[in-house]
C-alpha cells in the first residue's frame, strides 16, 4: 500500500477542489504574446518537457520532437521569416481589416527568453506502425497533444506560451536543420507573461468572439 492507504495500482481520487482548479487552469491557458525577458529556470523547462511526454500517442510512438532554439543566428532567421510571412498576410487584407491586423502583436519572438520548435516524426519506427495504417496523420495529432500538455503544464507553473504560426514550415525546418521526415508543427515562445489574462487577447482586442454554438453537441 502507498502512504494514502490506496493500493499501488489504484487510480487516484480527484476531489471537487482539484476539478475546480483544473477548470481554472483551462481558463487561464492563453496564447501569450507579451513576455518578460528574464529566463526560466532550466530545471523547470526540463520538467515541462517531461510532462509533455506524458501525452498520449498513437501506438506509443511518441512522435514529437521538441527543439530548444538557443543560437541567436537561428532565432534571427526565424524572426526574419516571420516578418516576411506577416507582411504577406497583411498585404492580403484591405481597408479597415488591414489596419486592425497591423495593430495586432502577433508574436513574442522579440522578448520571450525561450524559443521551442516542435516537429513531428511522421513515420517513426517506435510504435511499429500500430494504429497508423488507415490514419497515418495520427502521429501529427499525437504531437499536438504533447504541445497542449506542455502548454497546460507551463500555465500551471505560472509561465506563458505563445504559438507563432505565421511562418513557412519548410524554411523553419531548414533554419533548424531538422532531420529528414520531421514535419514542422509549432514555434513556441516561452517565458513569464507580462500580464496574465484569463481571456483570449484576440477577443479582448475585438478581432473575434467565441461562438456559443461550439459549446453544444452536434447530434446525428
Closest residue by Cα to residue 150 from 49, 63, 68: 49
97 and 206 Cβ atoms separated by less than 8 Å: no
- Predicted local confidence at residue 198, as pLDDT: 86
Q: What is the pLDDT of residue 197?
A: 87
Q: Is the CB of residue 81 less than 8 Å from the CB of residue 175?
A: yes
User: Residue ranges of the chain with pLDDT lower than 70?
Assistant: 1-8, 106
Share of the chain residues as helix, strand and coil, in percent rounded to the nearest 5: 40, 15, 45
Cα separation, 88 vs 187, in Å, equals 19
Question: How does pLDDT run across 12-21, given as a tens digit for each residue?
Answer: 899 999 999 9
The b-or-e profile of 139-160 (16+ CB within 10 A means b, else e) is bbebbbbbbebbbbbbbbeebb
pTM for this predicted structure = 0.90
Q: What is the pLDDT of residue 11?
A: 83
Residue with cell 516542435: 118
| Closest among 115, 136, 161 to 63, alpha carbons compared | 136
**What is residue 4's predicted lDDT score, i.e. its pLDDT?**
44
Q: Which pLDDT score is estimated for 7?
A: 53
Amino acid at each position: 500500500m502507498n502512504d494514502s492507504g490506496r493500493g499501488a495500482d489504484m487510480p487516484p481520487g480527484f476531489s471537487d477542489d482539484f476539478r475546480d482548479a483544473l477548470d481554472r487552469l483551462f481558463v487561464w491557458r492563453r496564447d501569450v504574446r507579451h513576455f518578460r525577458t528574464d529566463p526560466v529556470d532550466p530545471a523547470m523547462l526540463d520538467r515541462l518537457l517531461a510532462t509533455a511526454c506524458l501525452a498520449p500517442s498513437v501506438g506509443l510512438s511518441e512522435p514529437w520532437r521538441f527543439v530548444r532554439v538557443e543560437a541567436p543566428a537561428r532565432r534571427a532567421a526565424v524572426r526574419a521569416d516571420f516578418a516576411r510571412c506577416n507582411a504577406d498576410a497583411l498585404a492580403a487584407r484591405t481597408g479597415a481589416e488591414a489596419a486592425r491586423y497591423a495593430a495586432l502583436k502577433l508574436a513574442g519572438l522579440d522578448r520571450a527568453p525561450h524559443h521551442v520548435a516542435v516537429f513531428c516524426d511522421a513515420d517513426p519506427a517506435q510504435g511499429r506502425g500500430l494504429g497508423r495504417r488507415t490514419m497515418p496523420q495520427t502521429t501529427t495529432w499525437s504531437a499536438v497533444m504533447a504541445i497542449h500538455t506542455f502548454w497546460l503544464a507551463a500555465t500551471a507553473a505560472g509561465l506563458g506560451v505563445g504559438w507563432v504560426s505565421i511562418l513557412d514550415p519548410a524554411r523553419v525546418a531548414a533554419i533548424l536543420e531538422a532531420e529528414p521526415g520531421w514535419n514542422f508543427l509549432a514555434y513556441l515562445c516561452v517565458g513569464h507573461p507580462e500580464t496574465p489574462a484569463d481571456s483570449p487577447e484576440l477577443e479582448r482586442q475585438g478581432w473575434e468572439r467565441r461562438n456559443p454554438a461550439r459549446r453544444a453537441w452536434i447530434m446525428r
